[in-house]
Amino acid sequence: MKKVLAFSLLFLLLSSAIPTVVSAETDTIPSIQIRAVERLITARNNTIRTGGEEYFKLERRIQKASDAFVGIGIRFLVATSDRNEEWFGSKNIAIITEVFGKSPAEKAGLKQGEVVIAINGRPLPEKERDGDVRATILGDKKLGRSVSLTVWSNSETRTVTLALAELRPARPEEGKKVFDNLSQSWDELVADMDAFLKDAALRILVPKTPSDNYEEYFWGFTKDVKNDLSDLLDSWYESQNKTVTNFETGAK
């Protein structure tokens, strides 16, 4: 398949009547140049394959942020320390890092920086992590189900009872816009890579270096092209990740 792609590209380039460096003995393109172009095509395909994986991850994040979910409206970070047991009676605590607006947590008066030390009267188990604590709070995710949190703040503890609610109303139209922009941006990235690949292939087929330096030039050049393709992908992902993150942040 790799050779088919390489020779297909070579055919397109040659059919455009672009002069190439040929072997005086065989009147054909030297094999070293063909192998160099094959390397470029492989690098392009590998880069797009990697980018495709990131694309689908971003797509799933958009879908998740577009849908409503059940919860009490807090983000938290689980912290484990022996000193926690001295202060709070448990090595594991959950520090509230964010409280969603118009959520049960906000209505109950929970604040960023407060510490959850027990759920339904039970201290957080030592080995539990963020996902475990979240599962304990949500339980069967049944709307209206009550959960009580023992919260420490300013050297005092209090217990609040909250009912699970549907948060972040579904935003399919906004999600579709973000997804459409992602798809368009991905198509543009692939087009940019293909244009970049064609230009690089031409530089290999019509090299401007002395013939005795072909091998050193081609392999060094293809290595640089691989790095450039990777940079294109990184730039695309950085931009799209920021867009999706902003969408997630605004979808509370």
pLDDT digits over 159-191, tens only? 999 999 988 766 788 899 999 999 999 999 999
Check whether 140 has a pLDDT greater than 60: yes
* Six token digits for residue 125: 């188990």
The DSSP-derived string for 140-175 is: T--TT-EEEEEEEETTEEEEEEEE-EEES---HHHH
Q: Where are the alpha helices (DSSP H) in 69-138?
A: 82-88, 104-107, 130-138
Tell me the domain boundaries of the chain: 2-65+171-250, 69-167
Query: Which residues have C-beta within 8 Å of that of residue 126, sequence separation ≥ 6?
Result: 80, 90, 91, 92
Residue 119 contacts residue 136 (beta carbons within 8 Å): yes
Check whether 5 has a pLDDT greater than 50: no
Q: Tell me, what's the pLDDT at 169?
A: 67
Q: Tell me, what's the pLDDT at 214?
A: 66
Q: What percent of the chain has pLDDT over 90?
A: 43
Query: How confident is the model over 145-157, as a mean pLDDT?
Result: 92
Determine the residue type at 239.
S
Terminal-residue alpha carbon distance, the chain: 47
SS3 of residue 118 by DSSP? strand
Q: Tell me, what's the pLDDT at 185?
A: 96
> Model confidence at 4, in pLDDT bands (50, 70, 90)?
very low
Q: Tell me, what's the pLDDT at 241?
A: 95
In this structure, whether the domain defined by 69-167 belongs to CATH 3.40.1390.10 is answered with: no
Q: Write the pLDDT tens digit of every residue in 29-84.
A: 568 888 888 989 999 999 999 999 999 999 999 988 888 888 998 988 888 888 88
* pTM for the model: 0.59
Which residue carries 């590998």 as its tokens? 46
Residue with the bigger pLDDT between 134 and 107: it is 107
